[in-house]
Structure 1
Amino acid sequence: MTNRNTYYVSPKGDILPVNTDIRLQLFEVAVSDEELNRFRIAVKEFDSAEDVEKEDFFNLTHFKEVEVDEHRRITFGKLVQIYKWIYTHGTATTKFEIEKMNILPKLEENARDR
C-alpha cells in the first residue's frame, strides 16, 4: 500500500507540509512521494517553457497571431494539467473549491479553442 502524506500546494508550485499563509491560494492534497514528484515536474515544465503568455507583452512574437494563439493554447493546456493533478489528489474541500472556481472547464476551453 502506498504511503500518503498531506501537503498544501499552489498552482505556482508551492508545497508546504502545513497550511501556513492565508495570502496564498493553497489546496490540500494527500499524495505519495512519487505523486508529489509528478506535480513538481509538471510545475517545472510550466515554469521552464518559453510560452508567450508568461513573457513580456511587448515581445515581438506577439505580432505573429498564429504563434501567439499556439503559445496560449500550450500555456492553458499546461495549467489544465496542474489543476487536474490538484483536483485528482485533493481532499473533498479542495475538490469543492476547484469546482466552485469553475477553472477546469475554462482552462480546457481556452486550451481547445486557441
Structure 2
Amino acid sequence: MKDRKIYYVSPKGDVFPIKTDQSLQLFEIKATENELNQFRVAVEQFNSSEDAEKEDFWSLAHFKEKEVDKDRNITHSKLLEVYKWIYTLGTPKTKLEIERMNVLPSLNEKPTFR
C-alpha cells in the first residue's frame, strides 16, 4: 500500500508539510514521495517555459504572432499539467476548488510524467 501524506502546495511549486501562511493560495493534496516529486517536475517544466518566454520578449520573434502563440500554448499546456497534478492528488475539498476555478478543460485527463 502506498504511504500517502498530506501536503499543502501552490501552483508555483511551494510544498509545505503543514498549513502555513493564510495569505498563500494553497491546495491540500495526499501524495507519495514519488508523486510529490512528479508534481515538482511538472512545476519545474512550467517555470522553465515561463523563463523562455521572458527571455524571448526582446527578440524580434516576439512581434511574430505565430511565434508568440506557440510560446503561449507551450506555457499554457505546462500550467495545465501542474493543475492536473494538484487535482489528481487533491483532497475532495481541493478538487471542488479547482472545479470551481474552471481551469482544466477535461478533468478526466491524467497528468503525464515525461
Structure 1 residues 24 and 3 mapped into 2: Cα distance closer, same or farther (>3 Å)?
same
Unaligned stretches of 5+ in structure 2? 107-114
Provide the TM-score with structure 2 as the length reference: 0.84
Counterpart in the other structure of 2:110: none
Q: How is 1:17-96 mapped onto 2 (pairs within 5 angstroms)? A: 17-49=17-49, 50-52=51-53, 55=54, 58-60=57-59, 61-96=61-96
Aligned-partner residue type, residue 42 of structure 1: A
**Number of aligned residue pairs:** 104
How well do the aligned residues superpose, as a CA RMSD in angstroms?
Answer: 1.8
Runs of 4+ in 1 over 6 A off after TM superposition: none
Cα drift, residue 105 of structure 1: 2.5
Q: Residues 51 and 75 of structure 1 are in contact (CA less than 8 Å); yes or no, is this contact kept in structure 2?
A: no
Provide the TM-score with structure 1 as the length reference: 0.84
Looking at secondary structure, tell me which structure has more helix per residue: 1
Cα drift, residue 51 of structure 1: 3.7
Give the percent of matched residue pairs that are identical in Structure 1 and Structure 2.
55
Unaligned stretches of 5+ in structure 1? 107-114
Instruction: Report the 3-state secondary structure (helix = DSSP H, G, I; strand = E; otherwise coil) of the residue aligned with 1:59.
Output: coil
